[in-house]
């Protein structure tokens, strides 16, 4: 028995030891996953390969692990500054023999972003290194990138389509009348067309005038960029008579793209890969057409950003401006204000650059951001604003504390105006036999009453508040631009402007991108050497692991993704039409949410939001709500 007890104790000890070892291995593995990062020092000679299978954005929306509970996964996107930094670094890196951009599943990007990436591609070509681009179907943004390539390839079943700026907006006046829903609109601004879908059956002449002028400037800028980079591109042929252009190549859209000089060669992925392999070397371990390469994430990790000299803080205001802590990818007013206030109180920064790429949004959210920026400026620190593709309405509101404002010619800005929309359903309820009544002690009791209707008193009060908000907006701009409120009112009224015109009328000081703004801020701070610090950069390891596992990360360890297309991307004209139809359905849902979402006073540029932001799959409202049902019925 004593021997048996000894054996049993030994077995129990072994069991406990194994359990402890397994626990240590388990938690060690969890720790390793949570600290997983692209490792520097793993860059081998070959091509810098970037598969742009998502949109190019100013700031990536961060995936929240709690979203897993709703079944949502991370979405792929690429920060413009990351792409530019990697491509520019490749120009002087002896290990990188070529830069390869795969646009097979490209999610699009703004015109200003494409211009900046194109300039980085030009830097590589100036260093006598080839830049190769390939896609199935090139649209405007892809054509703009391909123009800067030394070799642009198109799939034999693909082609190119140049549409230019412009498109369709949805107008709900007749539908609301039919449903007997009354949209109470409070606004200031002749050109504040954000409210027109709810009060008109079509666009007003003033809205068309303003938007037409901006479209013309953007179109001219796009053509100039493409023609400068690729002089042989026959844009007039492609846009003048597309039917005749394609018919001249026997209906073969790929051959038509080559004939117009938009691309250089036709070939499938395997042929394209073999061509790249001729330049950088083949990868015998990969599939047919694989070549030696390094992906974007490990390359960025290998090329550390500068950290010497004075620190210049950069805060990004990207996406719709909302109240609260939303973002990144959405400009939560509290979140961004806290970032700026912490930077100001730390004493670690010599200047501030505010990067704006936003159509605006909540008045209160924009004001929180503006006030925080003003507080940092009051500490005698230089403040510059760098406008990306879009800095309109609330996006301009937050720019008013700046000492200097930089923009691109294709930037959309202005839209100095304010509005609010509140629906009421008294007629709709009466139509189905529902009445309303009650006892009130004042003219504001129970108001705004979305069921019984608005009283004249509450309508007057809300309109006064909107007019007061517009007066404040005009006053902020006037003080910032050293003009009178009357002068700003003439160029305000909710009208949007292209960057070139905005500079002429004094809303913008200087042409230039964020590099120009950083250099100016550093010079004002007396910094001979400096580096940029982007506030709020995400370092959550759990989020990184989930994005890697679920495909939201831009890196991949194998080359199978090169040859596995994303069916969500259009590869021919029919697929492009289907995608744009889905985009209209998303627009419908967004417009209805704007009407019914209870968002309060807004400094928002509706007409320019879809024009300048990157393409992305529409996000439907939560299923099961009557709003979602209405969106499905009319989409």
Instruction: Categorize the per-residue pLDDT at 363 as very low, low, confident or very high, splitting at 50, 70 and 90.
Output: very high
Q: What pLDDT shows up at residue 481?
A: 96
pLDDT tens-digit readout, 2-53: 655 665 667 666 777 677 667 666 655 554 544 444 555 578 899 999 999 9
How would residue 229 be classed by pLDDT, with cut points 50, 70 and 90?
A: very high
Is the confidence at residue 620, as pLDDT, over 80? no
Q: Is the pLDDT of residue 421 over 80?
A: yes
pLDDT exceeds 70 at position 64: no
Give the pLDDT of residue 587: 63
Whether 131 has a pLDDT exceeding 90, the answer reads yes
Phi-psi region at 506: left, alpha or beta (left = phi > 0; alpha = psi -120 to 50): left
> Is residue 152 scored above 70 in pLDDT?
yes
Please state which CATH class domain 46-162+230-302+542-571 belongs to. Answer: alpha beta
Distances (CA, A) of 478 to 200, 393, 468, 489, 496: 31, 15, 15, 9, 17
Q: Per the residue annotation, which of 76, 192, 269, 483 is the catalytic one?
A: 192
DSSP code, position 60 = P
pLDDT at res. 635: 35
0.85 exceeded by the pTM?
no
Higher-pLDDT residue of 23, 174: 174
Residue 318 pairs in a beta bridge with 357
Query: pLDDT for 202-217, tens place per residue?
Result: 988 988 888 899 999 9
Q: Of 600, 411, 394, 356, which Cα lies nearest the Cα of 477?
A: 394
The answer to whether 379 is a known catalytic residue is no
Question: Which tens digits make up the pLDDT trace of 380-410?
Answer: 999 999 999 999 999 999 999 999 999 999 9
Tally Cβ neighbours within 10 Å of residue 120: 21
440 falls in which pLDDT band (50, 70, 90)?
confident
**Of 14-23, 368-377, 581-590, which gets the smallest average pLDDT?**
581-590
Q: What is the predicted pLDDT for the residue at 429?
A: 86
State the pLDDT at residue 437: 85
Task: Say if residue 133's pLDDT is above 90.
Answer: yes
Q: What confidence tens digit (pLDDT) does each residue in 543-577 have? A: 555 555 545 445 444 443 333 334 456 665 555 55
Contact 322, 369 (CB under 8 A): no
Contact between residue 278 and residue 138 where contact means Cβ atoms under 8 Å apart: no
- Name 47's bridge partners: 98, 293
Q: What percent of the chain has pLDDT over 70?
A: 78
Average pLDDT over residues 92-104: 96
How far apart are the C-alpha atoms of 316 and 325, rounded to whole Å? 14
Active site residue 192: yes
pLDDT band at residue 588 using 50, 70 and 90 as cut-offs: low
Phi, psi for residue 403 in degrees, rounded to 5: -75, -30
What integer pLDDT is reported at residue 167 of this predicted model?
A: 81
pLDDT at 270 over 50: yes
Q: What is the pLDDT of residue 561?
A: 39
Out of 393, 415, 424, 455, pick the active-site residue.
393
DSSP string, 583-602: HHHHHHHHHHHHHHS---SE
pLDDT above 90 covers what percent of the chain? 56
Q: Is the pLDDT score of 172 beyond 60?
A: yes
Span 430-439, mean pLDDT? 86
Parse the chain into domains and list their residue ranges: 1-35, 46-162+230-302+542-571
Which of helix, strand or coil describes residue 177? helix
pLDDT the model gives residue 451: 86
Instruction: Say yes or no to pLDDT of 357 above 60.
Output: yes
Model confidence band, residue 579 (pLDDT cutoffs 50, 70, 90): low
Q: Is the per-residue pLDDT at 287 higher than 90? A: no
3-state secondary structure 516-556: HHHHHHHHHCCCCCEEEEECCCCCCHHHHHHHHHHCCCCCC
Average pLDDT in the chain: 84
What pLDDT shows up at residue 500?
Answer: 94
Average pLDDT score over residue span 458-483: 92
Residue 107 has pLDDT above 60, yes or no: yes
The angle formed by the CA atoms of residues 152, 154 and 156, to the nearest 5 degrees, is: 150
Strands 418-424 and 182-188 come out as antiparallel
Q: What is the DSSP letter of 148?
A: T
pLDDT at res. 570: 63
Q: How are the residues of the chain apportioned to helix, strand and coil, as percentages rounded to the nearest 5?
A: 45, 15, 35
Residue 467 has pLDDT above 50, yes or no: yes
Q: Is the pLDDT of residue 343 over 70?
A: yes
């Amino acid at each position: 028995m004593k021997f048996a007890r000894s054996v049993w104790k030994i077995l129990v000890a072994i069991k406990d030891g194994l359990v402890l070892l397994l626990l240590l291995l388990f938690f060690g593995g969890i720790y390793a996953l949570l600290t997983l990062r692209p490792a520097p020092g793993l860059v081998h000679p070959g091509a810098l390969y970037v598969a742009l299978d998502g949109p190019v954005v100013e700031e990536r929306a961060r995936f929240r692990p709690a979203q897993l509970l709703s079944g949502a996964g991370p979405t792929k996107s690429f920060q413009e500054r990351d792409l530019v930094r990697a491509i520019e670094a490749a120009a002087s890196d002896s290990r990188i023999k070529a830069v390869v951009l795969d646009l097979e599943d490209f999610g699009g990007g703004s015109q200003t972003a494409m211009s900046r990436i194109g300039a980085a591609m030009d830097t590589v070509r100036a260093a006598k290194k080839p830049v190769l681009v390939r896609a199935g179907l090139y649209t405007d943004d892809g054509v703009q990138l391909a123009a800067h390539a030394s070799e642009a390839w198109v799939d034999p079943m693909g082609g190119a389509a140049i549409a230019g700026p412009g498109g369709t907006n949805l107008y709900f006046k007749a539908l609301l009348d039919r449903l007997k829903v009354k949209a109470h609109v409070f606004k200031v601004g002749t050109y504040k067309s954000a409210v027109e879908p709810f009060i008109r059956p079509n666009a007003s002449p003033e809205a068309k005038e303003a938007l037409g002028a901006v479209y013309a400037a953007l179109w001219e800028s796009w053509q100039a960029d493409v023609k400068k980079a690729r002089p042989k591109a026959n844009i007039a042929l492609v846009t003048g008579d597309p039917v005749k252009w394609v018919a001249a190549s026997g209906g073969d859209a790929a051959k038509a793209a080559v004939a117009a000089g938009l691309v250089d060669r036709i070939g499938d992925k395997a042929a394209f890969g073999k061509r790249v392999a001729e330049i950088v070397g083949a990868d015998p371990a990969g599939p047919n057409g694989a070549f030696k390469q390094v992906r974007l994430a490990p390359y960025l990790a290998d090329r550390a950003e500068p950290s010497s000299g004075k620190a210049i803080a950069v805060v990004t205001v990207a996406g719709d401006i909302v109240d609260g802590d939303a973002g990144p990818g959405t400009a939560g007013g509290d979140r961004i204000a806290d970032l700026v206030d912490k930077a100001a109180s730390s004493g670690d920064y010599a200047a501030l650059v505010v990067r704006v790429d936003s159509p605006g949004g909540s008045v209160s959210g924009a004001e929180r951001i503006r006030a925080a920026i003003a507080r940092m400026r009051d500490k005698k620190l230089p403040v510059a604003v760098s406008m990306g593709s879009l800095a309109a309405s609330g996006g301009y509101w937050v720019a008013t504390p700046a000492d200097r404002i930089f923009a691109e010619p294709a930037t959309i800005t202005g839209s100095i105006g304010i509005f609010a929309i509140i629906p009421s359903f008294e007629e709709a309820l009466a139509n189905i036999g529902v009445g309303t009544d009650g006892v009130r002690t004042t003219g504001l009791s129970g108001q705004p009453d979305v069921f019984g209707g608005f009283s004249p008193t509450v309508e007057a009060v809300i309109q006064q508040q909107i007019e007061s908000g517009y007066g404040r907006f005009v006053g902020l701009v006037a003080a910032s631009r050293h003009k009178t409120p009357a002068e700003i009112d003439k160029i305000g009224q909710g009208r949007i402007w292209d960057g070139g015109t905005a500079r002429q009328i004094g809303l913008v000081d200087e042409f230039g991108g964020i590099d120009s703004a950083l250099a100016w801020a550093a010079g004002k701070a007396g910094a001979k050497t400096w580096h940029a610090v982007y506030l709020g950069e995400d370092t959550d390891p759990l989020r990184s692991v989930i994005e890697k596992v679920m495909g939201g990360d831009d890196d991949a360890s194998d080359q199978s993704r090169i040859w596995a297309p994303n069916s969500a991307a259009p590869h021919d004209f029919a697929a492009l039409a289907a995608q744009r139809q889905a985009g209209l359905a998303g627009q419908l849902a967004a417009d209805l949410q704007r009407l019914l979402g209870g968002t309060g006073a807004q400094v928002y540029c509706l007409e320019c939001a879809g024009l300048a932001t990157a393409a992305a799959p529409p996000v439907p409202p939560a299923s099961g709500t009557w709003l979602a049902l209405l969106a499905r019925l009319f989409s």
